[in-house]
Structure 1
């Protein structure tokens, strides 16, 4: 099977490995199952020549029981995709096979990779560097202005407020005394000395 992309009649862009057929208008896109793409690639590889039904059923369907009927349906489906209502693109040779009458072109690429303009690459990398520098610069400017906005007096006043908050109110002191009173042993609570038993 053909692996490199190709174009049929300057109208249909075929990518065999993806099983994809795109029209030049960019609106219509069709995915083919691997068997149909294999069939199309066989016709393209032998364009202008008769490809027998026997060869197609053997190569594509591996002589499966209903391969002959499957081939007829597959050709019909391909004709719909290529708008080949007159059966001129894929011509039928009765009881023999099919001939693909098409202009096949290979897209102008190097190693199947479309060349990217080197100037576009430079612009891209410059943009990345500039954006990164702006982000880093913005971070340090924000951080510096945030630290500078805290005056020493604010820091001292904040510390004093925290210390004063730790001091308890008079009500809180009373409550803590009463709580502590419960913790005093019973002997310490009685102010009278115990009676002398020896008398």
Structure 2
């Protein structure tokens, strides 16, 4: 089977691997099932020659017993795809087979199409990018912001135990000058020996 794209009568672009037939610059494409594409490729390989029904049923339908009716329907479908109403492109030779009368070009130059992105899509991308940047900046602020020197009550208690209030190096954390035993009556006073 042919694998490279080819052109039929400078009008129909056929891509066998994808199973597609496209007419000229029309956006519409027809998708052919593998058996129909195989039939078309056999006809193209034998362009302007009689291809017998026996050969087609052997090649395309693998000698299936009821392939004769399927072949007739497949040729009819191909004629519809190629607008061959007068049956000149695919000519029927009664009781024998079919002849493809076409100009086949195997080298096809594909047009290069540029992709145009709509303005709304571009604006949407910019908006999403801006939102992501704001989220990153705000989260970075909270992650890397310097810790304030907020002292909690537990920290104050720790400092008073670590520092000796009477050594004169650190200020006393007991501004009221109330003895510890007065604050906590259950605490026992230090006994000097």
TM over 0.5: yes
- Counterpart for residue 159 of structure 1: 148
In 1, Cα distance between the equivalents of 2:79 and 2:2? 20
Instruction: State whether structure 2 residue 84 is matched by structure 1 residue 84.
Output: yes
CA contact (8 A) 2:8 2:104 kept: yes
CA contact (8 A) 2:50 2:97 kept: yes
Structure 1: which 4+ aligned runs deviate by more than 6 Å? 164-168
Pairwise mapping of residues 28-43 of structure 1 onto structure 2 (< 5 A)? Answer: 28-43=28-43
- Counterpart for residue 56 of structure 1: 56
Give the structure with the higher percent helix: 1
Pairwise CA RMSD: 3.5
- Counterpart for residue 106 of structure 1: 106
Q: CA deviation at 1:163?
A: 2.7
Q: Structure 1 residues 11 and 98 mapped into 2: Cα distance closer, same or farther (>3 Å)?
A: same
In 2, Cα distance between the equivalents of 1:165 and 1:23? 84
Question: Gaps (5+ residues) in structure 1?
Answer: 117-138, 169-180, 190-199
Secondary structure of the 1:79 match is helix
Q: Deviations over 1:63-88 (max 9, x none)?
A: 11210000000000000000000000
Q: How many correspondences in the alignment?
A: 135
Q: Structure 1 residues 106 and 166 mapped into 2: Cα distance closer, same or farther (>3 Å)?
A: farther
In 1, Cα distance between the equivalents of 2:102 and 2:34? 21
- Counterpart for residue 95 of structure 1: 95
In 2, Cα distance between the equivalents of 1:97 and 1:79? 15
Q: CA deviation at 1:107?
A: 2.8
Q: CA deviation at 1:26?
A: 3.1
Question: Gaps (5+ residues) in structure 2?
Answer: 113-132, 157-183, 188-193
TM-score by length of 2: 0.59
Q: CA deviation at 1:25?
A: 2.0
Secondary structure of the 2:88 match is coil
In 2, Cα distance between the equivalents of 1:22 and 1:47? 20
